[in-house]
Amino acid sequence: MRVFVTGTAGFIGFHMARRLLAEGHDVTGVDGMTDYYDVGLKRARRDILMAHEAYNDHELMLEDADGLGTAAESARPDAIVHLAAQAGVRYSLENPRAYVDSNLVGTFNLMEAARRLGVGQFLLASTSSVYGADEPVPFVETVPADHPLTLYAASKKACEAMTHSYSHLWNIPTTVARFFTVYGPWGRPDMALGKFVEAILADRPIDLFNRGDMQRDFTYVDDLVEGLVRLMAAVPEQGRPVDALDSLSPVAPWRVVNIGRGRPVPLMDFVAAIERALGRTAKLNLLPMQPGDSPTTFASADLLHALTGYRPATPVDVGVAAYCAWYKSYYGQG
């Protein structure tokens, strides 16, 4: 299969591309190498991919419609996996325009390329943040999720809606995957795990918002990639829901699927797992809740399971230990 993956120098795109290459697929990757976090880490991920013969790289921004279209045309992809985005909940309060440019304009440009090429499947990375303040938990895909709390969430919800319209108009089979707090080796330095490990090793306190009274449905990156690969084989067909809980659109070959473990972990337990992995005690800086944050994320993994027979299962202790081992070797703090 020929797969066009965006965001391949990013955390998840790198893992996804590596997995596809290992399975013998041809991968064309696109990444604009934005400086939202350490570009050196992005280069290091990209170097690993570029060592692979079946990997073809394009450094360009999604906003460059012509460049993106040309790259996609030369790749002649069977499937597009769209992972590039301006990510991060908190940064969307500081620099909202980046979310409009990368997520709205960028996704539109990619959809246009997909329409012209008539791809067999379009996979879009979305986020648990779209559930906003929704209740009850666990979050199921059939709830409207119409109350985003940040522009990050709003931009992803808009991308979901945009892909629905293209799926309907141009018959593009589309799976929207909502990711739940993904972590693991090569992870992002701006996310809690990266910040906590860096601070604990430097003997600095870690910031715990809402005084640590939060829980997250942490998903290990290999589990997430497993879910994505399996979803690539579960191409949506209009009018053929898998069960009564299917989010399949009545008017398009389009559905949304959570990828999460379905087992939220209290933040303090996550910190304890890091302490065990590092053999150090964290100093805590207890802070109030941040605007736009959700106290809980909790995925229903039932639809993913119904479609693919798979549920993410890596325990947090195992995943955190793998991240800490990678961190020490990558940053030379072994």
Ligand X SMILES: NC(=O)c1ccc[n+]([C@@H]2O[C@H](COP(=O)([O-])OP(=O)(O)OC[C@H]3O[C@@H](n4cnc5c(N)ncnc54)[C@H](O)[C@@H]3O)[C@@H](O)[C@H]2O)c1
Q: What is the spatial distance between Cα 29 and Cα 75, in angstroms, rounded to a whole number?
A: 9
Which residues, 6+ apart, have CB-to-CB distance to 61 below 8 Å? 32, 34, 67, 102, 106
By C-alpha distance, which of 128, 99, 308, 319 is closest to 215? Answer: 128
Cβ count near 270 (within 10 Å): 23
- Tell me how far, at minimum, the Cβ of 282 lies from ligand X, in Å: 21
User: Any idea what DSSP says for residue 256?
Assistant: E
Min dist. Cβ of residue 261 to ligand X (A)? 13
Q: Which residues contact 120 (CB under 8 A, 6 or more apart)?
A: 78, 79, 173, 235
Q: How far is the CB of 40 from ligand X (least distance, A)?
A: 12
183 is catalytic: no
User: CB-wise, 85 or 214, nearer to ligand X?
Assistant: 85
Q: Which is nearer to ligand X, 127 or 249 (CB)?
A: 127
In the complex, the smallest distance separating the C-beta of residue 187 from ligand X, rounded to whole angstroms, is 8
| Rounded alpha-carbon distances, angstroms, from residue 87 to 5, 151, 188 | 16, 11, 10
Whose Cβ is closer to ligand X: residue 59's or residue 203's?
A: 59
| Residue found under tokens 């979305």 | 126
111 vs 159: CA distance, rounded Å: 10
> Please, what sign has the CA dihedral across residues 104, 109, 110, 111?
positive
Among residues 76, 61, 67, 65, which one has the least CA distance to residue 108? 65
Query: For residues 169 and 267, which CB has a smaller minimum distance to ligand X in the complex?
Result: 267
Binding site for ligand X (CB under 6 A): 7, 9-13, 31-34, 42, 61-63, 83-87, 102, 106, 125, 127, 179, 181-182, 188
Give me the least distance between CB of 332 and ligand X, in Å please: 21
Q: Active site residue: 91, 131, 152, 183, which one?
A: 152
Crossing angle, helix 11-22 and helix 221-232, to 10 degrees? Answer: 60
Compare residues 15 and 25 and give the one whose CB is closer to ligand X. Answer: 15
Min separation Cβ 279 and ligand X, Å: 26
Residue nearest to ligand X (CB): 10
Tokens of 2: 């020929």
Closer to ligand X by Cβ: residue 152 or 166:
152
Catalytic residues: 152
